[in-house]
Amino acid sequence: MDVDQMKVLFVCVKNTARSVMAEAIFNSLAKKWKAESAGLQKAEKIDSKVMQILEKNGLKAKEKPRSIEEVKLDEYDLIVAVCDESCLILPSKRVLRWQIEDPVGKGDQAYEKAFKELEERIKKLIKELEG
């Protein structure tokens, strides 16, 4: 595998919160790799609280969610499922399964907790990938 071409896909239910945060965090920290994200279901827009927490941390959310049907899974070197639901349907190709609590519909503290947990896991992942 050519590390310069490595692509990571973060997946959650609707691609409005956890996977969007993961994509932004990963792309802000990784030097050679690019992350994208998708959801199991089609959603209309990114969660506004996610946009706020990313902005607060100097990051930018992508424009709009997309569903897993809109991506070609075989283009990714690694898939990271950030929720239980997406763990069930993803292929057995290299998949990491993280269970991050869904902050949607909960208070600001839940979004902060999800962001911090994703940030910690992504830092470890990048260290592993770069090492």
pLDDT of residue 86: 52
DSSP letter assigned to residue 67: B
The two three-digit tokens of residue 32, written as one number: 């050679």
Predicted local confidence at residue 37, as pLDDT = 97
Q: What local confidence, expressed as pLDDT, does residue 74 receive?
A: 85
Query: β-strand 7-12 against 95-97: which pairing, if any?
Result: unpaired
Low-confidence ranges of the chain (pLDDT < 70): 1-5, 85-93
- List, for residues 37-60, the tens digit of each pLDDT value: 999 898 999 999 999 999 999 999
Domain, as residue range, for 115: 3-130
pLDDT at residue number 1: 43
pLDDT for the residue numbered 3: 47
Count of domains forming the chain: 1
The enclosing domain of 120 has a CATH number of 3.40.50.2300
Closest CA to 101 of 17, 43, 15: 17
pLDDT of res. 23: 98
Give the per-residue pLDDT at 88.
54
